[in-house]
Amino acid sequence: MEKHTIQYSERTIEFELIRKKIKNINLNIKPDMTIEVSANDKVPVDYILKFVKEKAPWIIKNLGYFKDVQPEQYSKKEYVSGESFKYLGKQYRLKVAESDKEGVRYYQGFIELKVKDRKNYHRKEKLVDDWFKEKAVMNFHKSLERTYPLVEKYDVKLPEIHIRTMKARWGSCIKDKNVIMLNKELIKAPKFCIDYVVLHELAHFKYRNHDPEFYTFMTMLMPDWKQRKEILDEEVVRGL
């Protein structure tokens, strides 16, 4: 992996260059807000720098530029009424109420948190986190039910889904264990973006690398996958 920078309109854009056996140059904004560019070994660095510079307006627009976006994105939640949480692509305001019966639910644009002691930060954090994990398990498996039939006839076995926190990717395929690992933060994205990530990982059971055959396969199964990916990248910028 190489690190490079380009200058655009008095701004410095840093990106990671990864050499892969692929036909096109690919640019990706990762969940941790780093920029990754992949290209074939034969593509000159000067050409890649020119490519990134041409994409600079799009990069700056979507990142809102790092210093403007990151503080909001990674701000620590306080779990107080009025705070905003995202679930399946929609924003929900938090309502906190004291109750002997603790729990979390969402309805009519709100996420309601009932807790015995509204001053107990760690208890509130655990209740909300457990609720999101429960929803992630349910929705990720529903996504697999929707997308697996697309690859079943290509001798892809139905995999297990494991959920964990990931800093730099939405998912990964562990082929030898027949497991798809998904980022728990993906539960905040729209369902059609979740389907894109799940199908992307399913496709890796047939094509391990991001080569032309992989992307041809993806396009055949999900013709609008690029648009879904772009929307997912934009969701990250707005603070998934």
Region 25-41 average pLDDT: 84
> What does the pLDDT read at residue 28?
84
CA distance 36 to 17: 6
Instruction: Report DSSP letters for 185-215, one per residue.
Output: GGGGS-HHHHHHHHHHHHHTTT--S-SHHHH
Strands 2-8 and 171-174: unpaired
Half-sphere exposure of 59 (CA within 13 A, CB side): 26
Comparing C-alpha atoms, which of 106, 129, 104, 130 is closest to residue 115?
A: 104
> In the block, which residue shows the tokens 């107080």?
80
**Global pTM?**
0.70
CA nearest 48: which of 11, 8, 5?
Answer: 5
At residue 93, the pLDDT reads 93
> What's the CA gap between 227 and 110, in Å, rounded?
29
Res 225: pLDDT: 96
Sequence spans of domains, the chain: 2-73, 84-237
**Averaged over 11-17, what is the pLDDT?**
90
- Residue 220 burial (CB < 10 Å; 0-12/13-18/19+)? exposed
Our separate counts of H helices and E strands in the chain read 6, 11
The predicted-structure confidence for 88-124, as pLDDT tens digits, reads as follows 999 899 999 999 999 999 887 899 999 999 999 999 9
Q: CATH topology for 84-237?
A: Zincin-like (3.30.2010)
Burial class (CB in 10 A: 0-12, 13-18, 19+), 149: exposed
pLDDT band at 39 (very low <50, low <70, confident <90, very high): very high
Q: How many Å apart are CA 163 and CA 114, to the nearest integer?
A: 26
- What span, in angstroms and rounded, lies between the C-alpha atoms of 171 and 203? 12
Q: Which pLDDT belongs to residue 64?
A: 60
Q: How confident is the model at residue 178 (pLDDT cuts 50, 70, 90)?
A: very high
In this predicted model, what pLDDT tens digit does every residue of 47-98 receive, in sequence order? 999 999 999 988 887 776 444 444 444 457 899 999 999 999 998 999 999 9
**With bands split at pLDDT 50, 70 and 90, how would you rate the model's confidence at 240?**
low
DSSP label at residue 31: T
Distance CA 183, CA 140 (A): 10
Instruction: Return the bridge partners of 87, or none.
Output: 90
